[in-house]
Structure 1
């Protein structure tokens, strides 16, 4: 029993390290976008197309990695995705033209999507092995990585330059993966599942949970990709300060996600989701109405408190839908959810040339009425059997 508990503890920290590494790279992308726009001399519309390429790449590969999880297990899938994901910012920094950057960003998005499906599936496997919810705190480690990447990214790019900054991030991520890989939980498909046909779920539940995740993640994507541009271009903030828009969101998300599993056990998933949604709406409204960069950053931080546990609850609910091949239900919800965080910001780029980012963030606060209305679907996330 002691040995089994030790293995479970190591697997829990290994999957947390994967979330941390992924968040570090994605967070480093946030301040990279305005720097890349300046290097390529492009405006919001073209940048919006690049962000759209990132989203399309992600959506293309998510179902592939969902099938890979079902066939080979999440450990195999997440290791493959992570190794390919590590140097991705370097290729973007080396790309000399808009078209070359578009191809590199497409690949970056594809690997984001593949790794997200695989590492969330591995987190569900660890939850089942330990009989205890860990999803919120795993996403907390992702937020810590996002905080570090976004917070240090603007300063790092200014001091080191775009390419050297990407190289440093890749080295740090490689070191994290080297420590984590030996301890990743080696799950496997259920007996006979390797040869079963992989079909889309016929029950509506995962699709409805996917709609809830979609609406929850669109504001997060808008903060990730456009908060720095909003603060720099509409608020007059420096590049170093602009990076703290997403960093504030990621930082408060990290704190709340580390508290999230306990909050969910105490309040229940449905009530936790409802409270979180209302707080996120208030934060987005504050960011949109803010009179100064620091007030907008405070709004993004408040939004992070609310957004923090919305997505982990949706993913835990999806990972525990009965009767689905392991990884398939989760890939449906992650594909639908991440289409919000990845595809919607591309549309925001076009809107930003016609209306202000301030109006956009106010509109996004109203979008969260959707997960508020669907919050009862989160009851399947209350699976904790471990006490």
Structure 2
């Protein structure tokens, strides 16, 4: 296997494991709640700790990566995420669960940022769009994490055994993939300091693509958290029908990511983002207007398919802005902003009006992705290996 293909395989493995750990934990949340006797309100606070502290982890990764290289951080934080996820099952009380979940969030933020730094570095080596395929691996890992929870329940395993399976697989895969990661040039790691004037990343393009990322994660939060309840309670879907909305969303998100790189390589990044935003907005509109469950399921499928390309391409933009990983870490922050806003906004609107209006608002916001699509044009520079003026020395060994 060539050096570039080894690097691609290593990065893919870490994306897959991150999805496995994240979804594996979320799928066991009801079991965790029952075991500790946590109320719904307290559970909401516990879950909000993860994205808030993950933002801190992303900032930390952006601070350390120019000094150590993203590979060093990822090799360390990747297995620790798996162990922290297992630690949630070992928490004896809610009081202990809070710091454990905070640790999970911190490590997830570090890994989210550094694995995308690796993805950008590999994409630059290939000279063509690859980040959608990496995020597709994350989606596959998420599906496997959910299936791991199904397996654990079917075998009547306890929470420790169920999350222990996820953690064991994750640690083994991470350790096996660690030697394949791209090691950053020693000149970047050794010369960068907190006051290094070379590490200057323009904020305007980050804010533009970051806003698009926040919109996508707001829609993602709505679909992930409320689709089943909407189909069941508002549209009267049967118990076996209601989960199909989420399944359609996640399945089409995966298909979109697996197919998107070819479209980006052919047409450039702007058109896929603009078309994706329009398709996503249309899908959410269908959900809001759906008279029967199958229309909503179709809408969720269109939402996943359309918006799937935005987040991966935002990291391509970050890779074009600088090669130290600072821009990647900053763009990654908008992931958590969108998730937190989505959880509060959708729930608040549903409480004040109805879930129909709660989906109509993200539908309108998704049109903002179409307007922001030109900001993604700079992503093509990363694939040509041409960072913007002011970027520092290359992140990868040539």
TM-score by structure 1 length? 0.86
Matches within 5 A, 1:1-387: 6-40=2-36, 44-154=40-150, 156-157=152-153, 159-188=156-185, 190-191=187-188, 193-195=191-193, 197=195, 201-227=201-227, 245-290=245-290, 296-321=296-321, 324=322, 326-342=324-340, 344-346=342-344, 348-349=346-347, 352-383=350-381, 384-385=383-384
Deviations 1:264-299 (A, max 9, x none): 122221110011111112333344455666664543
2:216 & 2:26 partners in 1: Cα distance?
Answer: 19
- Decide whether the 8 Å contact of 1:229 with 1:242 is kept in 2: yes
> Is the CA contact (8 Å cut-off) linking 2:253 and 2:307 kept in structure 1?
yes
Distance in 1 between residues matched to 2:319 and 2:310, nearest whole Å: 15
Q: CA deviation at 1:84?
A: 1.0
Shift of 1:233: 6.8
Equivalent position of 2:392 in the other structure: none
Q: 1:288·1:358 contact (CA, 8 Å) conserved in 2?
A: yes
Q: For residues 148-181 of structure 1, give each alpha carbon's deviation from its aligned partner in whole angstroms, at most 9, with x where no partner exists.
A: 2235534634543433221111122122213211
Q: Partners in 1 of 2:192 and 2:141 — Cα distance?
A: 34
How many pairs are equivalent?
379
Shift of the alpha carbon at 1:203? 4.3
1:45–1:353 CA contact under 8 A, matched in 2 = no
- Residue 388 of structure 2 aligns with which residue? none
Q: Kindly name which structure, 1 or 2, has the bigger radius of gyration based on alpha carbons.
A: 2
Work out the CA distance in 1 between the residues paired with 2:128 and 2:121.
Answer: 11
Distance (Å, rounded) in 2 between the aligned partners of 1:380 and 1:293: 40
Q: TM-score, normalised by structure 2?
A: 0.84
Provide the rounded CA distance (Å) in 1 between the counterparts of 2:217 and 2:362.
10
RMSD between aligned alpha carbons?
Answer: 2.9
Q: Which runs of 5+ in 1 are unaligned?
A: none
